[in-house]
Amino acid sequence: MKIDNVLGKATIMVVDDTPANLKLLQDMLQSNGYRVLAFTRGTMALKAAARNSPDLILLDINMPEMGGFEVCEHLKADETLKAVPVIFISALAETMDKVKAFLVGGVDYVTKPFQFEEVLARINAHLTLRRLQIELEQHNHHLQELVQEQVREISESQMATIFALAKLAEFRDDDTGTHLERVQKFCKLLAMHICNNSSCSTSVDAAFVENICHASPLHDIGKVGISDAILLKPGKLTLEEFKLMKQHTVIGAQTLETARNQYPRNAFINMGIDVARSHHERWDGTGYPDGLTGIEIPLSARIMAVADVYDALRSKRCYKEAFTHETSRDIILQGRGTQFDPAVVDAFIALEHEFNSVRTAMDNE
């Protein structure tokens, strides 16, 4: 609601069941440049206010059908009208009547018979206050937008830095250099599907989807601590080499835990730790590093496991050729209930064509 000019263009609604009082106030206000809406019934005034909100209301108390107190209560219960100043004008002069007027939401009280100069002064004062309040709200809203924009820019720059660091690990063992981008898309697809399917999980919401998109690139960040002799070995790893390779989950989690010490309630960091440490856990408990079973494995890691394995199966490595989508799908389906969370595999099967399209499109970029 905009008040263009306190003395010139504000719209005043007058509600009084006495025609003489109504006409007197209407003429006086119009002669001072105000637009006036005059009503003899509270119900009529409420309907008109709902259609076109006035800048201020002068309201009588004793009226038939609906008294002024009840009219004011209806106004204050309406989100679009509750901020409109209400000045009561009444012949009731008892203190309790005045107290009740303020309790139901009135901003002022004028006793009949009134002096118009007094009424005009009170109207101008409350219109000025309302105008200043609106200006303050607009200023605060603009300030909030500026703060949110600054926070967004800082957050995006931080995420870009984290993503760049995660790339250090990826570039060592991924021929295409887009593994992180692909698993981000896969994780988002799976998380959104689970979010929209209440039978899968009630803990997945929009914040979870956003966090897993940002956290998924951190899943293999611990590989920076694994030697090239093991990481890039073309043949099968020995038991000792595999034992060292498995440490990338612990290295990654411990690295992120140093950040959590500073920001213990940061949901993104906490999810990054879960993904880094637990994405090689298996549903049947035979995974690593902690041998977690079933829902003991964080959901983000269970989602990451399917996304990561699918992308690995579709990718050429120094020790294997790339598999087709169909072969990769069948391998994941075979792992349902043993390697992978059945609900996540079901989500993958429902989305398999989207997975294939994402992979094919990114391979052709």
Question: Cα–Cα distances in Å, from 358 out to 179, 183, 280, 316, 363?
Answer: 12, 10, 23, 17, 9
CA nearest neighbour of 184 among 164, 198, 204, 163:
163
For the whole model, what pTM was predicted? 0.59
Instruction: Summarize pLDDT for 89-144 with one digit per residue, the tens.
Output: 988 888 998 999 999 999 999 988 888 888 999 999 999 888 888 888 888 777 77
Please state the rounded mean pLDDT for residues 352-363: 91
Q: Which residues pair with 109 in a beta bridge?
A: 88
Residue 64 and residue 16: Cα distance in Å, rounded? Answer: 10
Confidence check: pLDDT of 49 > 80: yes
pLDDT in tens, 332-341: 999 999 999 9
Residue % of the chain over a pLDDT of 90:
53
- Averaged pLDDT, 326-350: 96
The order of strands in the sheet holding 35-39 is 35-39, 11-15, 56-59, 86-90, 108-111
For position 147, what pLDDT does the model report? 63
Residue with tokens 């984290």: 162
Provide the pLDDT for residue 218: 87
Q: Is 141 helix (H, G, I), strand (E, B) or coil?
A: helix
Residue among 274, 130, 282 nearest 215 (CA):
274
Read off the tokens for 246. Answer: 């498995």
pLDDT tens readout for residues 215-258 = 888 898 888 888 888 887 878 889 999 999 999 999 989 988 88
Rounded to an integer, what distance in angstroms lies between the CA atom of residue 36 and that of residue 53? Answer: 12
The DSSP string of 194-249 is HHT-TTT-SS--HHHHHHHHHHGGGTTGGGGGS-HHHHT-SSPPPHHHHHHHTHHH
For each of the domains in the chain, give its residue range(s) and CATH number, in order of start.
Answer: 11-142 (3.40.50.2300), 174-363 (1.10.3210.10)
- Of 19-33, 167-181, 313-327, the range with the lowest mean pLDDT is 167-181
Q: Which is more confidently placed, 260 or 302?
A: 302
Q: Which two tokens stand for residue 71?
A: 């009219």
Residue 173: which pLDDT band, with cuts at 50, 70 and 90? Answer: low
The pLDDT value given to residue 5: 41
What was the pLDDT predicted at 7? 44
User: Is the Cβ–Cβ distance between 179 and 170 less than 8 Å?
Assistant: yes
Could you give the C-alpha distances from 4 to 49, 55, 85, 116, 135, in angstroms and in order? 18, 10, 16, 23, 12
Cα 15 from Cα 27, distance rounded (Å): 14
Provide the pLDDT confidence category of residue 40 given band limits of 50, 70 and 90: very high
pLDDT one-digit tens code per residue, 244-297 = 999 999 998 998 888 788 878 788 888 999 999 999 999 999 999 999 999 999
Cα atoms in the Cβ-side hemisphere of radius 13 Å centred on 206? 0
Task: Please give the pLDDT value at position 278.
Answer: 97
Beta bridge partners of 56: 12
Contact 323, 314 (CB under 8 A): yes
- Confidence band, pLDDT 50/70/90 cuts, at residue 314: very high
Q: Examine the pLDDT at 2 and tell me if it is beyond 50.
A: no
Taking the C-alpha atoms of residue 89 and residue 62, their distance in angstroms, rounded to an integer, is 10
pLDDT band for 166, please (50, 70, 90 cuts). Answer: low
pLDDT in the model for residue 204: 83
